[in-house]
Structure formats: C-alpha cells, structure tokens
Amino acid sequence: MATKIYGIKACGTMKKAFNKLDALGVNYEFHDYKKQGIDSETVQTWVAELGIEKVLNKRGTTWRKLTDEQKLSSDADVNTAIELLVENTSMIKRPIVASTKGDEAILLCGFDEAAFEQAFA
C-alpha cells in the first residue's frame, strides 16, 4: 500500500504534514476531502482503529455550527457521528495518514512530528 494522506489542501496542519513527509522522503498520494469527499467505509475503518474521539474534531467551526440535536445524536451513536463526518468532512481531524511499513499497518491522525518520524524514519 502506498502512503495516502487525507485532508484539506488549505489547512495549516496539512502543510506541516506535507512538509514533514517530504523531509522524510515519503512518496504519498493526497486525498482532498473538499474535491473527492470520503466514503463511510473508510471513516468506519478509521473510527474502529482510532476511536471516534480521535477522528471527530469538536474544536472546529463546523462542529460549533451543528445544532444541539446533531451534537447530542453524534455523541450518543457512533454511526450517526460517522454519517456527520462523511457529510461534513471538515470535522475529520487532519491529517489522516494511512500506510504500511513491512507487514505493519500505519494509521496516524493529527500532526505529531515525533509520530511521523517514528512511523516513516
């Protein structure tokens, strides 16, 4: 599996991640949510591995603009939260990086320079 990085091009955190991957010599494919969207199966995989608390960004403006009912529903039911993430990709924490190292799968969420170095150095 090639390395794939998911996010939004204009995001500052994404720029840090691109720069770090470039510095580490990692070839990657970029998946832009704004242009390509995301399917629920992919989001379900991330949530199963990382947990909804890690994948769902509650600090952004998109989350704050949701109704109280939508917020409560997503907190009560992970499938509802996944549906909201598919519909509102800005609420997915950025970046998500999927890759492999030997036989080991790598799945990173958010930019952590040390985690990137550990995974790809």
Is pLDDT of 102 > 90?
A: no
Clarify whether 109 is annotated catalytic: no
pTM here? 0.92
Crossing angle (nearest 10°) for helices 113-120 and 12-23:
30
Query: What are the DSSP E strand ranges found in the chain?
Result: 3-7, 28-32, 96-101, 104-109
Domains along the sequence of the chain with CATH: 3-120 (3.40.30.10)
Residue 64: per-residue pLDDT: 93
Rounded Cα gap, residues 98 and 39, in angstroms: 15
- Dihedral of CA atoms 49, 98, 38, 85 in degrees, nearest 10, equals 40
Residue 1: per-residue pLDDT: 60
Catalytic residue among 11, 50, 106, 107: 11
